[in-house]
Amino acid sequence: MNAPSELAAILTASIASARENGIQLREVLRETARIGTDSMLLVAAGMAFFGAVLIEHGASQARQVVGDISLVGSAWFEILFRDLAPTIAGLLAAVRVGAALSAEAASLQVTGQLDALELCSGDRFSDVVLPKLLGGVLALPCLLIIGTVISIVSSAFCALFFYGADASAFLDPALIDSGDITAFAVKSLGFGLAIPLSAVRCGLKAEGGPGGVGDATTRGVVDSCLCVLLLNVVFGLAFFFLKS
């Protein structure tokens, strides 16, 4: 159970290195662009399908309970925006980003490139870890916004074309208040920090030959997915108690 302390150690070491060596802005932008563009296709396609899936379920159940699916439109928008879409988009991003970052960090570690970097008076935290963390914090909110918009549009589209419902009800943000927007922002920033952090932790712990890289990647993906689910629980509880 020393994962939390290791995560905290990596985070503090990165912050300390940023104080000492400054932030490499170019490297941060490169990581942001890479994390964003690499995950874009998976998140966008996945969320388009997810929006369609939800309408299938919603329509099949709404027929039994309320009759007309567009009655639930604005509540639907709120649930998608506030909870479901960020969670599923976050999981998809965690799968993509967690796998890529942990594989990369692990192969740097296993092939001794991190040690080589430090021999050349580089620093593994300010040169490798910190840009990935900041890249995640910058890229994840964009990914979640795009994923959420796509899932909402896709469910409105499917409601209109497959079930002939009133699509504008599904695009009605009437029930969204500032609390929902804060929840969305906090969640996306939290995921953006947690996913690269847990992936990098697993990558840096890799040891052994090529097999070690595979193990580290597996652990990186699982840990980043668990982080997303755990943060959902934590933020959900926090907002629940703040509201009541």
Partner 1 sequence: MKRGPSAEIFRGIGALGIVALRTARAIPRLDFREVLRSAAAFGSDALTLSLVVGAFVGFILVLFSNLVVVRFGVRSLFGWASGYAVLRELGPLITSLVMCGRIGARNAAELGAMKIGGQLEGLVGVGVDPFAFLVAPRVLASAFAVTALGILSSLTAIISSIGFGQLISGIEPSTFMMSFSARVHPADLAAALVKLSVFGAAISLVSTRTGLAAQGGARAIGSAAARAVVESAAALTCLDWAITFLTVQVLP
Which residues lie near partner 1 (CB under 8 A)? 42, 45-46, 49-50, 52-54, 56-57, 59-61, 65, 75, 78-79, 82-84, 87-88, 91-92, 95-96, 98-100, 102-104, 106-107, 110-111, 209-218, 221-222, 225-226, 229-230, 232-233, 236-237, 240
In whole angstroms, how close is the CB of 21 to partner 1 at the nearest point? 27
Enumerate residues 6+ apart whose C-beta is below 8 A from 233. Answer: none
In whole angstroms, how close is the CB of 78 to partner 1 at the nearest point? 7
Tokens 């799968």 belong to residue: 95
In whole angstroms, how close is the CB of 95 to partner 1 at the nearest point? 5
Nearer of residues 35 and 213 to partner 1, judged by Cβ: 213
Eight-class DSSP state of 78: H
**Do 45 and 147 meet the contact criterion of CB atoms below 8 Å apart?**
no
Q: How far apart are CA 221 and CA 64, in angstroms?
A: 39
In whole angstroms, how close is the CB of 175 to partner 1 at the nearest point? 9
Nearer of residues 12 and 61 to partner 1, judged by Cβ: 61
**Do 228 and 143 meet the contact criterion of CB atoms below 8 Å apart?**
no
In whole angstroms, how close is the CB of 242 to partner 1 at the nearest point? 13
**Do 47 and 88 meet the contact criterion of CB atoms below 8 Å apart?**
yes
- The DSSP annotation for 191-203 comes to HHHHHHHHHHHHH
Nearer of residues 17 and 87 to partner 1, judged by Cβ: 87
Angle between helices 210-243 and 85-110 (to 10 degrees): 150
What beta strand segments (E) does the chain contain? none
Nearer of residues 122 and 236 to partner 1, judged by Cβ: 236
**Do 47 and 54 meet the contact criterion of CB atoms below 8 Å apart?**
no
Nearer of residues 141 and 147 to partner 1, judged by Cβ: 147
